[in-house]
A and B are shown apart, each in its own frame.
Chain A
């Protein structure tokens, strides 16, 4: 029974710190206005700034929209540990989104939606909250409602396997900002893939019900799989100019990794028709699923009501 000091000094200080003083002790300080502060944002020679911005929007929107969806698990997960894990994944992706949208805006300010003169909304927030649906460049895989935990794990496994393969290559980008974001992101997304892979196996081998739900979940997610590897002309330019990755080159590696998880889990790769394009365009071209408009309506409602608002 260790002795407990009865004077208040240790504990009273908890709220002494609330009025003024040193900011460094707070997890989220008040002093990080520019997410790219201190980063060299010079654009490499031979890189087309507008292509770089468009490419950053693609990767940023994947992260933003998927983060938004995963955050909807908060207070809804099967157990507290998974509530915390899903929030972590959502936070990682939100962090990547913020950097990528800031990079897009810095590379080509023309992509940022116009706001009234004097609006204090920073450019990455203008991109997230004031852009219309057709301006979003995310793949459609990240848009649908979460569904149950099995659907969520199937989608997270596919998405994180794809994104990890992409970020691993993006570490060699000739854009120093993208290379830095990818280097940080690889560690994060490796955990996301590991988390999803472990749950995939657990659900496949758990109970009859969990296996049934997992197979149904995988079938629901799979029709948007091929779209991940369709090369949009911006991605082709990004690969040519050395700052980005042609996604068609990821298909084999992603397929092999998923095959390992599926085989270990005793699950067949689905043979299901793929979701078609709209006039030849998919998510990267700004053509989305029907739920995307509602997702954005909710995400943007407060920000759009206050274009001069300071948050």
Chain B
């Protein structure tokens, strides 16, 4: 697909120099360009993980479609979850330009050989969670993803531009749901606060471990795949969220959260990184359930995909 098997060592040095020069100039690598194998495999890992997150992320919100409390909210939620399927589709397509098929990627997800965002291993327990996921989880995702619009691999960067635009109105919709509920009854306000309390720390974990413990960050930044460190993005998210929480009338469950005049940023506490490790390793509240759901949908659909293939071949 990319690296031709016939290149000699001398050619490879030249190719690598040309590749490095493209990265240096902040230009984009395209599918037909030569690229180092580790760049390719790092991208496959990252894009696939992102695509899987979109697809697994359909489940916690999909959990509330049937119970959405108004016709308008039901339409908004259904359309949002549908957008996530669309994001999964473009990201799998971007990944396919690197020579891995959607079938293979789905199998790797189901078999636990590739990961997805740990946030989706938390359950959705009230309708307010639909709003909180939009506001905080999509908000954190946007902070992570906006810099990826400029990532060095062309198909990924272009997919991310569209994904970010859609994620930004999902965030707005989530915030708008919470703001509306805050104007409702005392029970609704309590529901919003409880949901925010439950999702705040997992949202902060979405940026990954502290920089000191993030093994992949340095190489990914050198290649222009990643543009900001985990801690930089986490800080940006906290700074962005605090005024939004104030406008909404909710608090975050962090006694250490305070404005630091000297730094020009908020100080804040650390999430429970042991819990993070446990969830990443498969021991979160919903890991098994999410994968079982995806595996069941995929297996149940196998005969339909086989029928479509057989029909297309007979028709050809």
Contacts and interface: CB of A to CB of B under 8 A. Distances in A.
B168 A17 contact: yes
A248 interface: no
A270 interface: no
B303 A209 contact: yes
A76 B55 CA distance: 11
Of B59, B89, B169, B302, the most chain A CB neighbours within 10 A belong to: B169
B184 A306 contact: yes
B65 interface: yes
B71 A101 contact: yes
B65 A84 contact: no
Contacts of A17: 168, 172
Contact of A302 (B26, B68, B183): B68
B278 interface: no
B10 interface: no
Q: Which 7 A-B pairs have the closest CB atoms?
A: A78-B301, A206-B307, A210-B307, A310-B184, A78-B304, A87-B82, A303-B69
B281 interface: no
B180 A310 contact: yes
Interface stretch (A20-28, A187-195, A229-237, A271-279): A20-28
Contacts of A72: 65-66
Interface in A1-26: 1-4, 6, 10-12, 14-15, 17-19, 25-26
A1 B29 contact: yes
Contact of A77 (B185, B187, B301): B301
A180 interface: no
B82 A84 contact: yes
A169 interface: no
B5 interface: no
B303 A311 contact: no
A113 interface: no
Interface in B192-250: 240, 243-244, 247
Interface in A49-101: 64, 68, 71-72, 74-84, 87-88, 90-91, 94-95, 97-98, 101
Contacts of B119: none
A306 B30 CA distance: 53
Nearest to B173: A28
Contact of A19 (B70, B74, B173, B243): B243
A205 B175 CA distance: 48
Interface of A is mostly: helix
Interface string A177-215: 000000000000000000000000111011101100100
Interface residues of A, number: 71
Interface stretch (B107-115, B143-151, B252-260): B143-151
A203 B310 CA distance: 9
Given A206-B307, A310-B184, A311-B69, A77 B297 contact: yes
A14 B71 contact: no
Interface of A: 1-4, 6, 10-12, 14-15, 17-19, 25-28, 30, 32, 64, 68, 71-72, 74-84, 87-88, 90-91, 94-95, 97-98, 101, 120-122, 124-125, 128-129, 148-149, 201-203, 205-207, 209-210, 213, 298-299, 301-303, 306, 308-311
A101 B72 CA distance: 13
Of B71, B89, B161, the most chain A CB neighbours within 10 A belong to: B71
Interface of B: 22, 25-30, 33, 55, 58-59, 62, 65-76, 78-79, 81-82, 85-86, 88-89, 92, 127, 139, 142-143, 146-147, 149-150, 154, 157, 161, 164-165, 167-169, 171-173, 175-177, 180-181, 183-185, 187-188, 240, 243-244, 247, 293-294, 296-297, 300-308, 310-311, 314
Given A80-B55, A84-B86, A203-B304, 16 more contacts: A11-B161, A17-B168, A28-B79, A28-B169, A75-B294, A78-B302, A82-B301, A83-B85, A91-B78, A91-B82, A95-B75, A98-B75, A125-B71, A202-B308, A298-B66, A306-B187
Contacts of A202: 307-308, 311
A121 B249 CA distance: 23
Nearest to B152: A4
Nearest to A29: B176
A2 B247 CA distance: 42
A303 B164 CA distance: 32
A87 B69 CA distance: 18
B305 to A, nearest CB: 6
A206 B311 CA distance: 5
A282 to B, nearest CB: 25
12 contacts: A2-B27, A4-B27, A11-B161, A11-B164, A14-B168, A71-B65, A75-B294, A87-B78, A87-B81, A94-B71, A210-B307, A311-B181
